[in-house]
Chains A and B, each alone.
Chain A
Amino acid sequence: MVNVLAATHPEGTVYGEVGDVTVPLRFSAAPDALSQEYAALRERAAVLDLSGHRLIEITGPGAVEYAQRVLARDVEYLTSDRCMMSLVLDDAGQVVDQVLAFGREDGILLASSCGAGTRLLEHLRAQADDGIEIADRSPELVLVGLEGPYAWGVVGRLIDGELASLPFESVVETTWDDVDIVFARTGFTGEYGYQMIVPREAAAGLWSLSLEHARPAGQEALELAMLEVRQPMPRHEATPGATVIEIGANWLVDVTKEAFVGREAVLAAFESGTGRRTIGFTCADGVPAAGTRVMAGDQVIGEVVHAVHSVGLGTTLGLARVDRDLAAAGLRLSAGGVGVTTLTSPYIVPKSWSIPII
């Protein structure tokens, strides 16, 4: 899918395919592009092209009941001034996607994870029954994000300073440049975060104006910052056969809810107490590929799930899935012949945790 904001991106933007979309990986081909964009996210404010997150609207008299069934968290009372993150599971308890659910007057609006829209839409339609309508709103609406310890200041300059201090996961309908938009306080990186659902024809204007106050950060910087605060990333972590428990995404599932697709499978995995668990790690040498075996002495105890070079740590940061009795921070193991040390999350403490909104 073509990137809808591409015309506004700077020359030299490096694009890549993520699932079913083309997204800016970095907004420059310069060698330090990632570190500069990462610094904007962690030190100042970054504007995020989230147009690769598909917006799917569920309406009709049975919309809430249907959403309760297909979402793993409880959305029965998700009013139009709230949003929440949730997993979407299949009957086997496997992760279909991780969504941001917005309560709406006439139903619910889901933002898929980046590039997962087609898969999510197919799943939702396969689960659909009478009394609901499922519409892909991405042809008309675009998601734009702002994140960083000073992102609140950008909100003040762009829209309204009072919106910056909304409680986490609050949503308001407001206007920008006489255009109706949905504004939410939410995010992926642990920093102050905001997302705006904007009509497609206005998205380029909002994006361009945002750039007067914030630097754009691409998918690579965003995913690195997500990893650093252990924000689940299904496209890297939901490997075939891995249960929610093994992924460690329990918090995106509400087991106190009586019924939802995948509940029995998730509970069975939890109650079995078996399988592997996910743990962060660092190593001094290289970035081990996903699938690299993790060893304790000469015994295979798991494998690398995902690893990158962390700009913030100045070294490798990764996730490994290892035997449950060895899934703990502070252990020296090895991966691909290189020593690794398991870590406690968050691996980077967001600056926003110590900066008030003023």
Chain B
Amino acid sequence: MTIDELRAKAAERQQTCSQIKKMIVSRLDLEIEPDWITDDQPLFGRGLELDSLDVLELYVAIEAEFGVALYDSEMAVFGSVSRLADEVNPALRAQG
């Protein structure tokens, strides 16, 4: 891949991550700018300190926003924003 192609691939993931961050901040009414959340920080317990009620809220929000149902997924899909991005936009999993 050329550097421009790599940038385009990175931008696609960053765009999905950005969309997820805005959704989290909006749905959970957090008092931070969405970009303050990093793509790789933990979300539950450590990190963003979300709890099980927040997970339920995010299940609903993700289905509404991305049309993806994660209800039966393992907790690992909530490991980080970037990991969630892999779930809601499977095209991102292809290596570049």
Complex partner residue of B92 from A230, A231, A330, A345, CB under 8 angstroms: A330
The answer for the CA separation of A168 and B31 in the assembled complex, in Å, is 22
| B32 contacts A255, C-beta separation under 8 Å | yes
| A329–B13 touching, CB < 8 Å | yes
Question: Which positions 31-83 of chain B face chain A at CB distance < 8 Å?
Answer: 31-32, 35-42, 45-48, 74-76, 79-80, 82-83
B82 and A344 form a contact (CB under 8 A): yes
Residue of A nearest to B82 (CB): A344
Question: Is A346 in contact with B79, judged by CB distance below 8 angstroms?
Answer: yes
Q: Kindly state the separation between the CA atoms of A327 and B7 in the bound complex, as whole angstroms.
A: 9
Which residues of chain B are within 8 angstroms of A353 by Cβ–Cβ distance?
74-76
Restricting to A323-346, which residues have a CB under 8 Å from any CB of B? 325-333, 341, 344-346
* Known contacts A330-B13, A332-B95, A344-B40; is-contact A354 B83 (Cβ 8 Å): no
Q: In the complex, are the beta carbons of B80 and A332 less than 8 A apart?
A: no
Task: Evaluate contact between B95 and A341: CB separation under 8 angstroms.
Answer: yes
The chain B residue with its CB closest to the CB of A349 is B76
Q: Are B74 and A330 in contact (CB under 8 A)?
A: no
User: Which chain A residues border B31 with CB–CB below 8 Å?
Assistant: 256
A250 to B34, CA, bound (A): 12
Closest to A301 in B: B3
Q: Are A248 and B79 in contact (CB under 8 A)?
A: no
- Nearest A residue to B45 by beta-carbon distance? A168
Give CA–CA (A28, B32) in the complex, Å. 46
Q: Please tell me if the beta carbons of A230 and B3 are within 8 angstroms of each other in the complex.
A: no
Check B42–A346 contact: CB distance below 8 A: yes
Q: Does A115 contact B (CB under 8 A)?
A: no
A346→B83 contact, CB < 8 A: yes
A326 near B7: Cβ-Cβ < 8 Å: yes
Q: Which of B11, B37, B74, B83 contacts A325 (CB 8 A)?
A: B11
A354 touches B75 (CB 8 A): yes
Contact-residue size bin, chain B (C-beta under 8 Å from the other chain): 35 or more
Interface centre among B31, B47, B79 (most CB of A within 10 A): B79
Once the chains bind, are B46 and A231 in contact (CB under 8 Å)? yes
- The answer to whether A331 and B6 touch across the interface, beta carbons within 8 angstroms, is yes
Of residues 11 to 31 in B, which have CB atoms within 8 Å of A's CB atoms? Answer: 11, 13-14, 31
Chain B residues with CB under 8 Å of A190's CB are 42, 46
A289 contacts the other chain (CB 8 A): no
Residues of B within 8 A of A250 (CB): 36-38, 41
- Whether A251 is near chain B, meaning CB under 8 Å from some CB there, is yes
Per the bound structure, the CA–CA distance linking A329 and B13 in Å amounts to 8
Interfacial chain B residues near A332, Cβ < 8 Å: 1, 6, 95-96
State how many angstroms separate the Cβ of B80 from the closest Cβ of chain A. 5
Q: In the complex, which of the residues B13, B32, B75 contacts A328, with contact meaning CB atoms closer than 8 Å?
A: B13
- Residue contact A330 to B94, C-beta cutoff 8 Å: yes
B40 near A279: Cβ-Cβ < 8 Å: yes
Task: Determine if A15 is an interface residue (Cβ-Cβ < 8 Å).
Answer: no
Q: How far is the CB of B54 from chain A (nearest CB, A)?
A: 14
In the bound assembly, the distance between CA atoms of A83 and B11 in angstroms comes to 37
Most chain A CB atoms below 10 A, which of B6, B39, B41: B6
Q: Which residues of B contact A296 (CB under 8 A)?
A: 3, 6
Q: Verify B14–A328 contact, CB threshold 8 A.
A: yes
Query: A344-B39, A345-B80 given. 8 additional CB < 8 A pairs?
Result: A248-B38, A251-B46, A270-B35, A280-B40, A329-B82, A344-B40, A344-B82, A354-B74
Binding site for A on B (CB under 8 A): 1-3, 6-7, 9-11, 13-14, 31-32, 35-42, 45-48, 74-76, 79-80, 82-83, 85-86, 92-96
